[in-house]
Amino acid sequence: MEDCYVRYAMDVIGGKWKLLIIWTILQNGVIRFNDLQRKVDGISSLMLSKNLKELKEDGLILRHQYNEIPPRVEYELSELSQKLIVVLQSLSEWGCEVYKYKKPSI
């Protein structure tokens, strides 16, 4: 089935938070855990932690850990997720058309 790579992509960027996290890192460049939590509105440290871990395992973000006190960990986008941005833009345009279809009254 030819759509299985699409399914694969959806597995990796699906869920409630992942795209929001990627989007936030995109806008901020290198960013730390607590800064990220402040900017991704409403996310708990648990969810952020889980999602960052998965995104890292899927190769979408890079994690840099500095063994300092207090601890410092920085996150940034990988090349893979930067390629994703273009795709998301076209998906966004399509989503906009869906929106217009569903709200013709506005």
Partner DNA sequence: CAGTATCCCCGTAGATACTG
Partner DNA sequence: CAGTATCTACGGGGATACTG
Sole binder of DNA in the list 7, 29, 30, 44 (CB under 7 A): 44
Using CA atoms, how far apart are residues 88 and 67, in angstroms rounded to an integer? 35
Residue type (1 letter), 85:
I
The CA-to-CA distance between both ends of the chain, in Å, stands at: 39
User: Which parts of this chain interact with a second copy (CB under 8 A)?
Assistant: 1-3, 5-10, 12, 14, 19-20, 23, 58-59, 80, 83-84, 86-88, 90-99, 101-102
Binding mask 75-104 for DNA (x = CB under 7 A): ------------------------------
**Residue type for 15, please?**
G
At residue 9's C-alpha, the angle toward residues 96 and 53, to 5°, is 110
Q: Interface residues with DNA (CB under 7 A)? A: 14-17, 32-35, 42-47, 49-50, 52-53, 63, 70-74
